[in-house]
Amino acid sequence: MDRATRLAFTTYCAQLAQLNGVTSVTESFAVEPTVEQTLENRIQQTADFLGRVNVIGVSQQSGQVLGLGTSGPVASRTDTTAADRQPRDVHDLTGREYLCRQTNFDTHIRYATLDAWAKFRDFQTRVRNKVVEQIARDRLMIGWNGTSAAANTDSTANPLLQDVNIGWLEYLRTVDPARVFAGPKVGDQAGADYKTLDGLIFDAVNSYLEDWYKDDPGIVAICGRSLYTERMLGLIEAHSGTPTEAEALKTMQAGRAVGGKTALFVPFFPTRSILLANPKNLSIYWQTGTRRRTVVDNAKRDRIEDFQSVNECYVMEDTGAGCLIENIQVPDGAGGWA
């Protein structure tokens, strides 16, 4: 680390300490509540999809799912000469529990990178954003791929952070397996369950979602890009022979419509899966007051290290508004399925 970098880094650490009301950031400290909330907001703003889901601070490590959103109709009528009117809770408090587990977000930045940044006036912002961006990416990885919460995680064996926490998809598999449709065959060949992806999604909406969600405009088809690409490629090859058909395909591509729902591509989502859900039905709970942080200048490795942890979990508020279609099989080109 050269002299200018050392000065910039020292100033950064002093500013961080002042914001959190501590004398030094080189020893573990509890992040101030306002700083904690600001950091959560920045993480949410960094990834487009995280801006669509609920990221909620909760005071308890475990408790009942908040039930954000409504769980069904509330309109009614009562003859009050004979009985009292009975209000209905608009939230979906089904007795399901959440558990926030400590998750470590430990990062480092090489001296060489810091030296390159030191000449810029936004040095502190660059250092902060480097950490924030990775936390956002990790949350998406866990949300889509997390299946367990191991005491000692292994990123080599689980490159998509499968063992860090229970993600949204695994949550649905566990608490409401009836909303999971596994292994459908899609393609125009013998043995297919559906000829098209549109047919699969249309049927899943009608078969797996609660009635009051089937026509909800907020429900989208979160899917792997390759599935949508294969579907559009097939349509283009089959129906682009005339100007009218070509124009219709352009309109379809622009709207990303599939099975009557808007297709949404999100980083790290499983390639051969589709989640029918309103993003506002997906939540990340983080326990307030649990974020801990330490910044270390590790000269032995020519880098600074930022150790952060927070208790958090991933929840689907109303499972009746979700359907996971996974392990979708398509023709392998040899008469079989892959």
The mean pLDDT of the chain is: 90
| Contact predicate 106/301, CB 8 Å | no
Question: Is residue 103's pLDDT more than 70?
Answer: yes
What fold does the segment set 3-67+95-168+281-317 form as a domain? Major capsid protein gp5 fold (3.30.2400)
Residue 87 is predicted with a pLDDT of: 77
Q: How far apart are CA 18 and CA 136, in angstroms?
A: 25
CATH architecture of 177-279+321-326: 2-Layer Sandwich (3.30)
SS (H, E, C) 40-78: HHHHHHHCCHHHCCEEEEECCCEEECCCCCCCCCCCCCC
Task: Give dist(CA 189, CA 193) in Å, integer.
Answer: 10
Q: Is the pLDDT of residue 199 over 90?
A: yes
Strand partners, 55: 284
- For residue 164, how far is the Cα from the chain centroid? 14
Q: Is the pLDDT of residue 162 over 80?
A: yes
pLDDT-derived band at 311 (thresholds 50, 70, 90) equals: very high
In the structure encoding, which two tokens stand for residue 138, read together? 């990790």
pLDDT for 27: 96
Residue 4 confidence (pLDDT) above 50: yes
Q: What is the structure's pLDDT at 254? A: 46
Helix (H, G, I), strand (E, B) or coil at 284: strand
Query: In this predicted structure, what is the pLDDT of residue 236?
Result: 47
What's the rounded Cα separation, in Å, for the pair 151 and 44? 26
| pLDDT cut 90: percent of the chain above it | 78
pLDDT over threshold 70, residue 241: no
Whether the pLDDT of residue 232 is over 90: the answer is: no
Cα–Cα distance for residue pair 174/169, rounded to 1 Å = 9
User: Alpha-carbon distance 305 to 229, whole Å?
Assistant: 40
pLDDT of 276 > 80? The answer is yes
CB distance 267 to 137 below 8 Å: yes
Distance, C-alpha 12 to centroid of its chain: 30
The predicted structure's pLDDT at residue 116? 96
- pLDDT band of 238, cuts 50, 70, 90: low
Is the pLDDT at 183 greater than 90? The verdict is yes
Residue 264 CA to residue 259 CA, distance in Å, equals 13
- Pick the residue with more confidence: 86 or 283? 283
For residue 127, pLDDT over 60 is answered with yes
Whether 231 shows a pLDDT value over 90: the answer reads: no
User: Residue 92: pLDDT above 70?
Assistant: no
Q: How confident is the model at residue 70 (pLDDT cuts 50, 70, 90)?
A: low
Instruction: Please determine, for residue 242, whether its predicted confidence score (pLDDT) is greater than 70.
Output: no
- Categorize the per-residue pLDDT at 77 as very low, low, confident or very high, splitting at 50, 70 and 90: confident
The structural domains of the chain, with segments of one domain joined by +, span 3-67+95-168+281-317, 177-279+321-326
- Closest listed residue to residue 110, CA positions, set 122, 119, 118: 118
DSSP β-ladder status, 303-316 and 101-110: antiparallel
